[in-house]
Structure 1
Amino acid sequence: MRWPLPHIPYPPAKAGFWSPVTSTLNWCEEDYYVTVYSAEVVNAVTNLLFMWLGIRGLISCRRNQHDQIFSVALCGYLVVGTGSFLFHSTLKYPMQLVDELSMIYTTCLMAYALFSYRRPTGVRLVLAIALAGMAVFITLYYHYLQDPVFHQNAYALLTTVVVLRSMHTMEVTLRPRWRHSREEDRLDRQKKGLPVPSKERQHYENVRDKKILKTMWFMVVYGLSMFLGGFLIWNLDNQFCPQIRRWRHSVGLPWGIFLEGHGWWHVMTGIGAYLYIIWGIWLRHCLNKKQDDYHLHWARFWHIPEVIRITPTAQNGAARAKKSS
């Protein structure tokens, strides 16, 4: 059946400016069918989302005075998008390494941010050396094997460890019953001359932290859904590539762009990874007991969230409004 909507027939795949292909991977998007200067146009252009979000995040980190480790992580996120753009534009092996290994390095940075928090200097140094050594090992071993499955498994394992640990830290930090189980009771604190929060203050903190926790869990589920959904589409793209290519040629351009599964993987994982970094920033402020100094600005789930520092003027206004109510 002929596609009823106006369309442009797909141009044939051909050799391009960067030929020959030297990467160990070549995706379902046909090579150089739009321009001789970009091997996979959709797979390349969808990485602009990484670049935009990376720059946006860096500006936000500086403006809101977030911990420096997250600026470094966002630089890694930006490198992932840039490397992937260059890889899909050229299909050259060195660009493939930049794309894939920067994912490992950025995840290692997030692991350091998580596991080094409030650790002694010696522990932080050992952790840094261990993570750097692991990153070097993965780099060398992957270059030796040149097997993408090894990289994918290493990245999945690292990401799983970091996310699960972050979930645990979030729960024991913000869930009132877990927090209370770790704190000394009020009488012991009084005997030791430690400050004791009033019942009203404790109630306020419990309500506040439960609300934060609810939003954080929504962010976690949303981010994981984006990751897993993108992974599913990417695998379908790999498994049924011949059929999908026939569909794309049937519907023509621009409609065939929406059948580029690897491009959807970039969009969905770009959003999911950015949500994780924002989650990490917000969780760090909660660990520092600065929930009243920062808040998450996220009007709708399809908007891009941002952790914003509350100015003293805004804090005083909120306090007056609460008192008057």
Structure 2
Amino acid sequence: MAEKMVSSFWGPVTSTTEWCEKNYTHSSYIAEFYNTVSNIPCILLALIGLINALRQRFEKRFSILHLSNMVLAIGSMLFHATLQHVQQQSDETPMVWEMLLYIYVLYSPDWHYRSTMPTFMFFYGAAFAIFHSQVRFGIGFKVHYIILCLLCVPRMYKYYIYTKDASAKRLAKLYVSTIFLASLCWLFDRIFCPKISAWNINPQGHALWHVLMGFNSYFANTFLMFCRAQQLEWSPRVVYFLGFFPYVKIQKPKTQ
């Protein structure tokens, strides 16, 4: 929702998408204030996951996965702060890269040709980035992204049914519940924007989407770290910091 009467450091909106938040209400440097700052929890959660992965020497794929979550959140901040098309790409392209990485993490343990899958993912991601820089996507990007997400579902479900640990299963349930609630917030913000705009208080559905998806990514990553540690026989346990914040603790065999 562009506000023409408010000064803008970044100039006219050039992105193909805007959200149900009035522009430049708090600063001439931030187009959508709440949609921008709501990415901070995503960065902090990814940083916590990254520290845990490095401290316990998990496979590099998990460090890269947490880093990709941080890159995505930073790209989202830039997009919502500027509402420029070039920054929209810094949000949408990492979204696709991140899903390709999730597909790799999910399916690589059973992939017989180890170099084929990452090579294909790399070239696919590079080709998408180049194509996306030249072509403005609309509904096509959303459909493409949803297809990539759906490719992860069968494998996530397989991991869930083969996991006996109750705490790990709880992580998977938190993953499902947060993405469900986040999707409701996203849809509410998009569908009911004309009505929301007339309210005195905007519930900031898209900002809530960011926060919930930050937790969703953390729960997904933590669950996958548990499953992978179980495959490698690292005796994983889900423990809780301060009694409520979950993370995976492992005990590698002495030979490793």
The size of the alignment, in residue pairs, is 251
Q: Distance in 1 between matches of 2:47 and 2:63?
A: 10
* CA apart distance, 1:299: 6.5
1:280-313 Cα shifts (integer Å, max 9, x gaps): 111100111222xx31113699x4321123499x
Compute the TM-score of the two structures, normalised by the length of structure 1: 0.71
**Structure 1 residues 81 and 149: CA distance shift in structure 2, 3 A:** same
SS at match of 1:14: coil
Matches within 5 A, 1:195-214: 210=164, 212=165, 214=166
What corresponds to 1:136 in structure 2?
126
Matches within 5 A, 1:293-312: 294-298=236-240, 303-310=244-251
Q: Find out whether 1:102 has 2:81 as its counterpart.
A: no
Matches within 5 A, 1:75-114: 75-114=67-106
What corresponds to 1:152 in structure 2?
142
What corresponds to 1:198 in structure 2?
none
| Structure with the larger helix share | 1
Query: Which amino acid is the alignment partner of residue 275 of structure 1?
Result: F
For 1:68, which of 47, 60, 70 is the aligned residue? 60
Q: Distance in 1 between matches of 2:130 and 2:194?
A: 34
SS at match of 2:249: strand
Compute the TM-score of the two structures, normalised by the length of structure 2: 0.89
**What percent of counterpart residues are identical?**
26
What corresponds to 2:177 in structure 1?
225
Q: Distance in 2 between matches of 1:215 and 1:164?
A: 21
**Structure 1 residues 149 and 228: CA distance shift in structure 2, 3 A:** farther
**Structure 1 residues 298 and 161: CA distance shift in structure 2, 3 A:** farther
What corresponds to 2:114 in structure 1?
124
* CA apart distance, 1:23: 1.0
Query: Which amino acid is the alignment partner of residue 146 of structure 1?
Result: R
Larger radius of gyration: 1
* CA apart distance, 1:42: 0.2
Q: Distance in 1 between matches of 2:95 and 2:23?
A: 24
Q: Distance in 2 between matches of 1:289 and 1:296?
A: 15
Q: Distance in 2 between matches of 1:12 and 1:131?
A: 42
Q: Distance in 2 between matches of 1:228 and 1:19?
A: 35
What corresponds to 1:277 in structure 2?
221
Q: Distance in 1 between matches of 2:175 and 2:137?
A: 27
Query: Which amino acid is the alignment partner of residue 297 of structure 1?
Result: V
**Structure 1 residues 12 and 150: CA distance shift in structure 2, 3 A:** closer
* CA apart distance, 1:76: 0.5
Q: Distance in 2 between matches of 1:142 and 1:306?
A: 36
SS at match of 1:307: strand
SS at match of 1:306: strand
For 2:19, which of 23, 27, 39 is the aligned residue? 27
What corresponds to 1:184 in structure 2?
none
Could you list the structure 1 runs, at least 4 aligned residues long, displaced by more than 4 angstroms after superposition.
none
Residues 13, 31 of structure 1: 8 Å contact kept:
no
SS at match of 1:116: helix
RMSD between superposed Cα atoms in Å: 2.3
For 1:262, which of 206, 212, 217 is the aligned residue? 206
* CA apart distance, 1:16: 1.1
What corresponds to 2:161 in structure 1?
171
SS at match of 2:245: coil
Structure 1 portions without partners, runs of 5+: 1-10, 175-209, 313-325
* CA apart distance, 1:144: 4.6
Once structures 1 and 2 are overlaid, which stretch shifts more, 154-163 or 281-290?
154-163
Q: Distance in 2 between matches of 1:290 and 1:118?
A: 18
SS at match of 2:114: helix
Structure 2 portions without partners, runs of 5+: none
* CA apart distance, 1:237: 1.0
For 2:197, which of 227, 237, 245 is the aligned residue? 245
What corresponds to 1:17 in structure 2?
9
Q: Distance in 2 between matches of 1:152 and 1:288?
A: 35
What corresponds to 1:181 in structure 2?
none
SS at match of 2:17: coil
Query: Which amino acid is the alignment partner of residue 49 of structure 1?
Result: P
